[in-house]
Structure 1
Amino acid sequence: MTPMKEDYLKMIFELGGVSEKVSNKQLSLSLDIAAASVTEMINKLVEEKLVSHTPYAGISLTATGRRAAEELVRKHRLWECFLFDKLNYSLANVHQEAEKLEHSSSDQMIDQLDVFLDHPAHCPHGGAIPDREGHYDEGSRVALAAIADGQRVKLSRFVDNHDLLEYLESLNFAVDQDYVVTNHAPFEGPITVQTDAGRTIDVSFKAANNIFVDDLSAS
């Protein structure tokens, strides 16, 4: 399997998990790839029975695609934990290094790395790490962009993308921070959030679709 196909499987897993469908637009935004190229790749993955695509409904992983995605995500996110926690890499820079390491890691090495790191459940940007048996907590699938004005949220996880993580670092965003959503600008403009201290932050529409939150107002 090519690295590009692996990136698609990981992103479909990240956006939709094992059950929810994702759209071509979501993949285009998250991977920063033209919509036509996304459609072409999805057709290839459908032919290889790694994903299923229901027109006007969305894209989801098949059982085979899900197993492949879980293995890739496990390797990738364990390496991210190692780079971030043990080698002091910045959050924005762990992805590219982990991408290289995951392709050269045997299952035995990953199992040993998991033990060394004391079996982390989540990577530095909040993504779930499947254990050796494939168990994990999927986490939030609610994007910040979908939260109504006035609602209070906790940042749960961010899509694993270098430019996005670099952007979020510039905003001082981190997993487990709380904010109140105060405004959605029209025509896919920025989403404004406010900290408990009263500081307001404008988050781009694209980024807000790649930030997943727990809606504290709903609990």
Structure 2
Amino acid sequence: MTPMKEDYLKIIFELGGGYKKVSNKEISLGLGIAAGSVTEMITKLTEEGLVSHEPYDGIALTPEGIKHAAELVRKHRLWETFLVDDLHYSMTDVHPEAEILEHNTSDRLATALDAFLNHPKYCPHGGVIPAANGKFDSVSHRLLADAENGETVVIERFLDNHELLTYLNEVGLQLHAKVKVIKHEPFEGPILVECLDNDQQLSISYKASHNIFVNQEPLQD
């Protein structure tokens, strides 16, 4: 399987394609590529039995696709955890390194790395780490972009993307932050949020807001 096909399986997995249907637009925004390119690759993955797709009805991973994606994500995120926790890499720098390492990691090495790290459940940017048998904890797949004006949400995880993580580091949005959504600017403009721990207002780009996941259920007062 080519690295590009693997990237598609991983992004569909991250967007929740193992449980629900995701859109061409969501994949396009997540990978930062043209929608036409997404359509072409989804056709190939459908022919290989890795995704299911009905026109205008969304895209989902098949059981075989989930198996492949979970294995890739597991190895990638174990390496990210090792690089941050043990080699003290910045979270913004780990994705390219883990991308290389995951393709050269045997199941035996992944098992040893998992044990060395004491079986972590989540990677440094909040992504779930599947177990060796492919099982993984459920996580929210609700996007910051979908939060209503006036709603308070918790930032639970970021999409595994180097440019996104670098951007969020520069903007100052932190994992686990509690923020209030002030305003969605029209015409695919940014989202203005207020960080409740320091009263700082941040402007989050339209694209980034589709790569940030927040709590699924409303917060209790």
Is TM-score (shorter-chain normalized) higher than 0.5?
yes
Q: Give the letter aligned to residue 208 of structure 1.
A: S
- 2:80–2:94 CA contact under 8 A, matched in 1: yes
Once structures 1 and 2 are overlaid, which stretch shifts more, 209-218 or 123-132? 209-218
| Cα separation, partners in 2 of 1:49 and 1:216, compared to 1, 3 Å | closer
Q: Which residue of 2 aligns with 1:204?
A: 205
Aligned-pair Cα RMSD in Å = 1.1
Of 113-122 and 166-175, deviating more is 166-175
CA contact under 8 A between 2:144 and 2:210: conserved in structure 1?
yes
After TM superposition, give the deviation of residue 199 of structure 1 in Å: 1.1
Written as runs of structure 1 = structure 2, the 5 A alignment for 1:42-53 is 42-53=42-53
* 3-state SS, counterpart of residue 119 of structure 1: coil
Distance in 2 separating the partners of 1:96 and 1:161: 9
Quick one: distance in 2 between partners of 1:64 and 1:216? 30
Following TM superposition, by how much is the alpha carbon of 1:218 offset from its aligned partner in structure 2, in angstroms?
A: 4.6
**2:125 touches 2:158 (CA, 8 Å); kept in 1?**
yes
Letter in 1 for 2:32: D
Structure 2 residue runs of 5 or longer lacking an equivalent are none
**AA aligned opposite 1:75:** K
User: Structure 1 length normalisation: TM-score?
Assistant: 0.97
Aligned to 1:166: 166
Q: Name the residue aligned to 2:187.
A: 187
Equivalent pair of 1:154/1:216 in contact (CA under 8 Å) = no
Helix, strand or coil: the match of 1:16? coil
1:125-158 Cα offsets, whole Å, 9 max, x none, are: 1000011222221311000000001111111111
Shift of 1:216: 6.4
Secondary structure at the aligned position of 1:49 is classed as coil
Measured at CA, do residues 182 and 210 of structure 1 come closer, stay the same or move farther in structure 2, by a change above 3 Å? same
Unaligned runs of 5+ in 1: none
Q: Identity of counterpart residues, as a percentage?
A: 55
- Report the 3-state secondary structure (helix = DSSP H, G, I; strand = E; otherwise coil) of the residue aligned with 1:183: strand
Counterparts of 2:130 and 2:14 in 1: how far apart (Å)? 12
Q: Equivalent residue of 2:20, what SS?
A: coil
CA distance in 1, matches of 2:7, 2:37: 13
